[in-house]
A and B are shown apart, each in its own frame.
Chain A
Amino acid sequence: MTKILLDFGPFHVPWQDYAGDLAAAVLQTIEFTVAGFVGAVVIGLLVAVLRLAPWALVRAAARAYTETFKNLPLVTEIFLVYFGLATIGVVLNVFVAGAISLALFYGAYLSEIFRGGLQGVGRGQREAAQAVGFTPLRAFGLVVLPQATRLALPGTSTMLVDLLKGTSLLTFIGGAELMNEGRTIVSNTFASLEVYIVVGAIYFAMCFPLSHLVLMLERHLHAGKPLSPSRFRILRQARRLQMENAASHAAG
């Protein structure tokens, strides 16, 4: 009776044997996520800025990029970068090919989100930044970018979570990430249901806190709380002067 239950019930994988491999796979998933996301943010920001450039040709090129990589399946892009490029002599290892594929694909989506953020910063803000004597670079870095970031944060966090899940497609090129490890365990145990439930739970356990972390960051920024040490110092000094000021007004 017990034997039958064990055979037909969902739980009969010796997980302790796989704990080390699973941990390594989770780590690999995180590495793909970080490398892919950093690349995607750089590409996305660059393309977003180019899409708002004053030159039509540059805008068209940036747009072509976005449309191309946004409208191909991620798996196709992964195969193109890993297998396709190898046939013309560009041989990339799995990690580099995987990270590049993710960066190209999600960079295209992020460029749209960032463009929306940049366009959401009103003309008056740019004018005020000019009027107080910021150089164009400072105006962008101190006034436009921080506000655009706030506007783009919700969409960006969705993309980050999607990218983490998207790393699972790298199993097709032997990415050695979580999904790949799941398939290895299934091929050893044939316990598809149990294994993929556990693998799914691990993905969920990574993604869910991640989205909440970003949500907390959003709230933090919205409340105007400082993240950088220099803002922290400025506000602390201002608070001190404010109290001295109030004291002197009260005394006078």
Chain B
Amino acid sequence: MRPADARSDVAISMIKPADSRCVIQVRDLRKSFGSHEVLRGVSVDIHAGEVVSVLGRSGGGKSTLLRCLNLLEVPTLGTIEVDGAAIFKDRQLARGHALVQLRRRVGMVFQAFNLFPHLTAVENVVLPLIHGQRMQEVEAVRTAMKFLDRVGLAPKALELPERLSGGQQQRVAIARALALRPLALLFDEPTSALDPESTGDVLNVMRELSEEGMTMVVVTHEIGFARDVSDTVLFIDDGLIVEQGPPGTVLRAPKQSRTREFLRAVSQGGPHSEVS
């Protein structure tokens, strides 16, 4: 079961999908790399405040789906709408200004953190505010420090990324994405490059974000996180959504044999991937 303190009101999260607006809508999304079709028709709605965990085997298309949502990867066919506006439809791609605007509304956190290594932690957060959001410098630094404080890293604000641990770097990356006040945050295996302790720190930050109502799509191997924090679990395999629903259903009583096999396989993994 989800811990009592994880989400203040389970009932609200349960009626949310029907009740609240759709932040990201994906219809029949296809993506091919050469002759290999990685996504073979994926449709999903992501609602405001919803936390969606995307599970599945490596190479099944999870990351590609996520990367399509802010057009780091250009889909082959299908439709993606963000906040009601099509960013990709019938091979027509948001370009130029519209594309840049989209990126500012859908934040991304990468597996390899991808902090700018030549800049201190605080500058990593400040520069997108000044040059993307046109925020005044003084205001941008104040905002950046606030968000660094929120992920517990204000004391490290003046360090270069190379002087930070992996978990600290990832928390700076989260602060960087968060400071842009995105409609939704995308996480691409945010803890896969981290040791267990750092993983815990990063997952705690993500848990807090979900409690504050941030819309999140998380590609992860952390079954525990998917179970405790997410509202919806998507199980993707071979380019298709094999199964989707509340974690209680998908993780406890999966209908599809492929989901069961996957969950059995990860349950034999490390301490962070156990299935209760």
Contacts and interface: CB of A to CB of B under 8 A. Distances in A.
B241 interface: no
Interface residues of A, number: 31
Given A142-B127, A242-B154, A242-B158, A237 B116 contact: no
A228 B149 CA distance: 26
A246 B123 CA distance: 19
Contacts, number: 105
Contacts of A230: 137
Contacts of B72: 127, 130-131
Contacts of A150: 118
Interface size class of B (residues with CB under 8 A): 35 or more
B271 to A, nearest CB: 28
Contact of A235 (B116, B118, B158): B158
Interface in B157-186: 157-158, 160, 176-177, 180
B128 A132 contact: yes
A221 interface: yes
A241 B128 contact: no
A12 interface: no
A247 to B, nearest CB: 12
Contacts of B101: 133
A54 interface: no
Contacts of A132: 103-104, 107, 127-128, 132, 176-177, 180
B171 to A, nearest CB: 15
Contacts of A80: none
Given A130-B103, A132-B180, A238 B141 contact: yes
Nearest to B119: A224
A231 B142 contact: no
A14 interface: no
A134 B131 contact: yes
Interface of B: 70, 72, 100-101, 103-104, 107-108, 110, 112, 114-120, 122-123, 126-128, 131-133, 137-138, 140-142, 144-145, 149, 154-155, 157-158, 160, 176-177, 180
What 6 A-B pairs come out closest when comparing CB atoms? A133-B104, A128-B114, A132-B128, A133-B132, A131-B108, A124-B114
